[in-house]
Amino acid sequence: MGIFQRFARLPLKSTYIWSLCPQYSTALTAAGRALIVRSSQLIQHCCVHSRGLGASPGNPGAAPPRLPFSRVTQEDLAFFRTLLPGRTITDPDLLKSSNVDWLKTVEGNSEVLLRPKTTEEVSQILRYCNRRNLAVCPQGGNTGLVGGSVPVFDEIILSTSLMNQVITFNNISGILTCQAGCVLENLSNYLEERDFIMPLDLGAKGSCHIGGNVSTNAGGLRLLRYGSLRGTVLGLEVVLADGRVLNCLATLRKDNTGYDLKQLFIGSEGTLGVVTAVSILCPPKPKSVNVAFLDASCMSLLEKHLKLTNPITESPFYIVIETAGSNATHDEEKLHKFLEEVMTSSLVTDGTVATEATKIKALWSLRERVTEALTHEGYTYKYDISLPVEKIYDLVQDVRGHLGDLAKNVVGYGHVGDGNLHLNITSPSKDPALLAAIEPYVYEWTSDWKGSISAEHGLGLKKRNYIYYSKPSEAVALMGSIKAMLDPKGILNPYKTLPDNIQ
């Protein structure tokens, strides 16, 4: 049965996967752009060991020397235990998971984990730490990929995991206000019960916190339709380094009074303040279309290591799309027109449809479990790049040629709609020679094509010294001035985001 026949009777919600014709395998160029343009609602689906290392020209991602912060004393612990009885963690076994990032490539040596429940507790913690010159690492779900959510040395870990309450939800305006430690998937479930959805969806939704999403300006599946968090976040409550609470927790769609201060903290990775609450505009469900792409090498790894089955014929590229709508007849008409165009233009060679929840989940697993499959290949160097759509796969091919036999695998997957490429390079083990061949080559290539070296994961520890590939020195200097104004002692998430030496 042909792909058009398979799509002839689509229910209200469906998921399907397509393979692209071989003649378009060199890159997602004009054909890829046509595929995106013709569906105006397509949306994306979207090792540094810190101790004992110092950043150098040959290894800019390594940790710099420890700054002269105070060290935690028994008096400090007594204060924290009084403020947070039972929520001041010093057991090394309990601290271990919070000291290591999700990729297990960055490890700190914090001796204290604090778990506040309220904004007032966060305020008292930071007021005390600022006075004592104690460095603090804010931590949400710890799902980041650039070492931004774990301590580099012995910074106090301030976890938002217990700040997990929904404060209010307006079922007319769709505005949700919640604490920063709410897990994204829990918020999604809460909203779906009320016929709304979150404006973002991520592969890490089962662990990531909304405060961390905001602090890194996370992208994810729904960015193309609903925009970035810079547009959907209406207000924030933030605790500054000296303990002051900045309450900009607005619930208005329009507020044109003065500077939009919340934008300073969206994407600042906890270096300017600790986000404690968020108000966010949530769209009604469903009316969404999602798209992701992965290459044949990714599919091979999924089949090899995770025993996932490719439901369609072999192809250089695969695109996963999920559609949902409120008017089945109208949605079906639009989809049929779209399918006629892509079939006529030979953009699509094969496809399959899933309508049951279990089958839909199985298709999305092909996209969401690529990272897991890569872990079976040894050590993985991961790059989150934003490029013009017509160049999104050229980088993968050029890196393959550049590295040759140095790398075990060079694969690419990501979000077609917004040009976000996840470039992954594997080797049997950590290899300094391979890293030297990758960096700064990848960043230079990205800069040459006016891309961004970080599309959605931030800069963290690993990319901080590469910021000049995406931002002019004047902009970085201004960032440094803002940091100095809001956090003059530099206690908030030190060694992250900003370069070691600001030009």
pLDDT per residue as tens, the chain (503 positions): 333 333 333 344 555 565 655 444 443 333 333 332 223 222 222 234 444 446 776 678 888 999 999 999 999 999 999 999 999 999 999 999 999 998 888 999 999 999 999 999 999 999 999 999 999 999 999 999 899 999 999 999 999 999 999 999 999 999 999 999 999 999 999 999 999 999 998 888 999 999 999 999 998 878 877 889 999 999 999 999 999 999 999 888 888 899 999 999 999 999 999 999 999 999 998 654 456 668 899 999 999 999 988 887 888 888 877 676 677 677 767 767 777 787 778 777 777 666 666 777 777 788 888 888 988 999 999 999 999 988 999 999 999 999 999 999 999 998 877 889 999 999 999 999 999 999 999 999 999 999 999 998 899 999 999 999 999 999 999 999 999 999 999 999 999 999 998 87
Cα separation, 439 vs 383, in Å, equals: 10
Tokens at 239, concatenated: 């605790």
Q: Mapping DSSP to helix (H, G, I), strand (E, B) and coil, where does residue 328 land?
A: helix
Q: 397: exposed, middle or buried (C-beta count within 10 Å: 0-12, 13-18, 19+)? A: middle
Cα separation, 95 vs 87, in Å, equals: 12
Asked if 416 and 293 touch (Cβ cutoff 8 Å), the reply is yes
Angle between helix 119-132 and 74-83 (nearest 10): 170
Could you tell me what percentage of the chain is helix, strand and coil, using 3-state DSSP and rounding each to the nearest 5?
Answer: 35, 20, 45
Q: For 67, how many CA atoms within 13 A lie in the half-sphere containing its CB?
A: 17
Asked if 142 and 98 touch (Cβ cutoff 8 Å), the reply is yes
Cα separation, 151 vs 226, in Å, equals: 33
Q: Which residue has the tokens 């060679």?
A: 349
Q: For 85, how many CA atoms within 13 A lie in the half-sphere containing its CB?
A: 1
Cα separation, 487 vs 242, in Å, equals: 8
Tokens at 431, concatenated: 């290899």
pLDDT at 1: 36
Cα separation, 149 vs 133, in Å, equals: 20
pLDDT at 127: 98
pLDDT at 27: 37
Asked if 402 and 364 touch (Cβ cutoff 8 Å), the reply is no
pLDDT at 300: 93
Phi-psi region of 129 (alpha: psi -120 to 50; beta: other; left: phi over 0): alpha
pLDDT at 382: 93
pLDDT at 121: 98
Asked if 148 and 106 touch (Cβ cutoff 8 Å), the reply is no
Which ranges of 219-287 would DSSP assign to H, the alpha helix? 223-226, 229-232, 262-265
Q: For 323, how many CA atoms within 13 A lie in the half-sphere containing its CB?
A: 25
Residue 465's contacts (CB-CB under 8 Å, 6 or more residues apart) are 55, 60, 61, 499, 500
pLDDT at 354: 65
pLDDT at 285: 82
Cα separation, 95 vs 317, in Å, equals: 42
Tokens at 97, concatenated: 């998971």
How does DSSP classify residue 332? H
Angle between helix 441-448 and 394-403 (nearest 10): 150
How does DSSP classify residue 173? T
Q: Mapping DSSP to helix (H, G, I), strand (E, B) and coil, where does residue 88 land?
A: strand
pLDDT at 55: 75
